[in-house]
Homo-oligomer: A and B are copies of this chain.
Amino acid sequence: MLKTPTIVLNVKTYTEATGINALELARLMEKISKETGVSMAIAVQASDITRCAKEVSIPVYAQHIDPIKPGSSTGWTLPEAIKTAGAVGTLINHSEHRLILADIDTCILRARDLELDTLVCTNNVATSKAVSTFSPLMIAVEPPELIGGDISVTTADPGIVSNTVNAVRTINKTVKILCGAGVKNGKDVARAIELGAEGVLLASGVVKAKDKEAVLRDLTSGI
């Protein structure tokens, strides 16, 4: 189970984090995580899980699972398949890969059966509260309009973080709340934690950075 506070990196389908590049980025995170003691996880494409999980000690997550059981689901992502490949958790319902409500429920149940960490992405306070009724391990609230942008959610809309924490706590005392969208540096991370989050979910801020190591080190300074 992922330790918090934490930094979760979703590498999406960027060229800079596909194939060997995903592995190199995972290794870099492993190095910095070991040096700093900061908990980190990397969510890679399905085809990159096996190698990353085999060669790196930080937690490797899938970016998505489908609400299916083994059988006839050509081209969909079977929870068992990403588990067997070495993933220890998965994003669910990312902004770029939304699921219908009943399928979020099913995905969380399937992941729990397989002892996979569940990190469910949400777009606002209301949907975070709804998801908290399912008791996933973590919820990452990310306003869609800020994703991939230059301003961190912790600056552009700090209220969404603290309000999510407060709203979710009325329902569920144990789910961990992360925030994301536009997060780029240690100050953003520190601010996230001040607002009640237990870490961040980010992507382009690291993956598209010229000096990924510098950005990752800076991010850890916020924890």
Interface residues of A (CB under 8 A from B): 10, 12-15, 18-20, 43, 45-51, 62-64, 68, 70-78, 80-82, 84-85, 91, 93-105, 122-124, 126-127, 129-131, 133-134, 147-148, 171, 203-204
CB distance from A73 to the nearest CB of B (A): 4
**Interface pair B96/A124, CB less than 8 Å apart:** no
- List 11 A–B pairs whose Cβ atoms lie within 8 Å, in order of A's numbering: A43-B74, A47-B82, A48-B81, A63-B75, A64-B76, A74-B97, A75-B91, A93-B101, A102-B122, A105-B124, A133-B171
Report the Cα distance A27→B47, complex, angstroms: 19
**Interface pair A73/B133, CB less than 8 Å apart:** no
Picked from B18, B75, B127, B203, the residue with its CB within 8 Å of the CB of A81 is B18
Report the Cα distance A122→B19, complex, angstroms: 31
Report the Cα distance A14→B105, complex, angstroms: 22
Q: Given A18-B81, A45-B46, A81-B13, are A72 and B105 also a contact pair (CB < 8 Å)?
A: no
CB distance from A19 to the nearest CB of B (A): 4
> What is the oligomeric copy number?
4
**Interface pair B171/A13, CB less than 8 Å apart:** no
**Interface pair B100/A126, CB less than 8 Å apart:** no
Taking CB atoms, residues of chain B closer than 8 Å to A96 are 72-76
CB distance from A183 to the nearest CB of B (A): 15
Report the Cα distance A10→B73, complex, angstroms: 11
**Interface pair A72/B18, CB less than 8 Å apart:** no
**Interface pair A13/B74, CB less than 8 Å apart:** yes
CB distance from A66 to the nearest CB of B (A): 9
Taking CB atoms, residues of chain B closer than 8 Å to A94 are 74-75
Taking CB atoms, residues of chain B closer than 8 Å to A51 are 50
Nearest B residue to A129 via CB reads: B133
**Interface pair B130/A70, CB less than 8 Å apart:** no
Report the Cα distance A18→B84, complex, angstroms: 8
Report the Cα distance A84→B94, complex, angstroms: 24
Report the Cα distance A138→B49, complex, angstroms: 30
Report the Cα distance A142→B183, complex, angstroms: 38
**Interface pair A105/B81, CB less than 8 Å apart:** no
